[in-house]
Amino acid sequence: RKCLQRIKKTRHLNAYISVTEEVAMKQAQEADGRLLRGKPLGPLDGIPFSVKDNFCTENVETTCASRMLRGYFPPFNATVVQKLLDQGAVLVGKTNMDEFAMGSGSTDGAFGPVRNPWSYAAPYRTLSPGTDPDSDWLITGGSSGGSAAAVASLSSFLALGSDTGGSTRNPGSLCGVVALKPSYGLLSRHGLIPLVNSMDVPGIMSRSVDDVAIALDVLQGRDVKDSTTIQPADSPAPLPQEFDVRDICVGVPKEYHAPGLSADTLSQWTRVVAMFERSGAQVREVSLPHTQYSIVCYHVLCCCEVASNMARFDGLQYGHRSAVESSTEELYATTRHEGFNDVVRRRVLSGNYFLLKQNYERYFVKAQQIRRLITEDFQRVFSSGVDVLLTPTTLSDAAAYSDFIREDNRTRSAQDDIFTQPVNLAGLPAVTVPTSLSSRGLPIGLQLIGRHLQDRKLLAVAHWME
User: Which residues sit at the interface with ligand GLN, rule CB under 6 A?
Assistant: 101-104, 143, 162-167, 195, 302, 417
Residue type at 417 in one-letter notation: D
Closer residue to ligand GLN (CB): 46 or 191: 191
Closer residue to ligand GLN (CB): 45 or 417: 417
Closer residue to ligand GLN (CB): 46 or 194: 194
* Among 197, 258, 293, residue whose Cα is nearest residue 393: 258
In angstroms, what is the minimal distance from the CB of 367 to ligand GLN? 14
Residue type at 104 in one-letter notation: S
Q: How far apart are CA 277 and CA 293, in angstroms?
A: 30
Q: How are beta strands 158-163 and 48-52 bridged, if at all?
A: parallel
Spell out the alpha helix ranges (H) of 128-278. 145-152, 169-175, 209-219, 263-278
Residue 61's contacts (CB-CB under 8 Å, 6 or more residues apart) are: 17, 18, 70, 71, 72, 73, 94
In angstroms, what is the minimal distance from the CB of 296 to ligand GLN? 12
Q: φ and ψ at 94, to 5 degrees?
A: -105, 135
Residue 100 in contact with residue 195, Cβ under 8 Å? yes
Q: How far apart are CA 167 and CA 201, in angstroms?
A: 10
In angstroms, what is the minimal distance from the CB of 403 to ligand GLN? 17
In angstroms, what is the minimal distance from the CB of 120 to ligand GLN? 25
DSSP labels, 100-144: GG--SSS--STT-PPBPGGGGSHHHHHHSTT--TTTS-BB--SSS
Closer residue to ligand GLN (CB): 64 or 89: 64
Closer residue to ligand GLN (CB): 419 or 464: 419
| Residues involved in catalysis | 52, 143, 167
In angstroms, what is the minimal distance from the CB of 420 to ligand GLN? 8
Burial class (CB in 10 A: 0-12, 13-18, 19+), 314: middle
* Among 96, 93, 79, residue whose Cα is nearest residue 22: 93
For 222, what's the count of Cα atoms within 13 Å in the CB-facing half-sphere? 6
Q: How far apart are CA 395 and CA 283, in angstroms?
A: 22
Q: How far apart are CA 217 and CA 219, in angstroms?
A: 6
Closer residue to ligand GLN (CB): 27 or 167: 167
In angstroms, what is the minimal distance from the CB of 209 to ligand GLN? 21
In angstroms, what is the minimal distance from the CB of 424 to ligand GLN? 7
In angstroms, what is the minimal distance from the CB of 306 to ligand GLN? 9
Residue 180 in contact with residue 80, Cβ under 8 Å? no
Q: How far apart are CA 341 and CA 353, in angstroms?
A: 19
3-state secondary structure (DSSP) of residue 312? helix
Closer residue to ligand GLN (CB): 164 or 268: 164
Closer residue to ligand GLN (CB): 46 or 166: 166
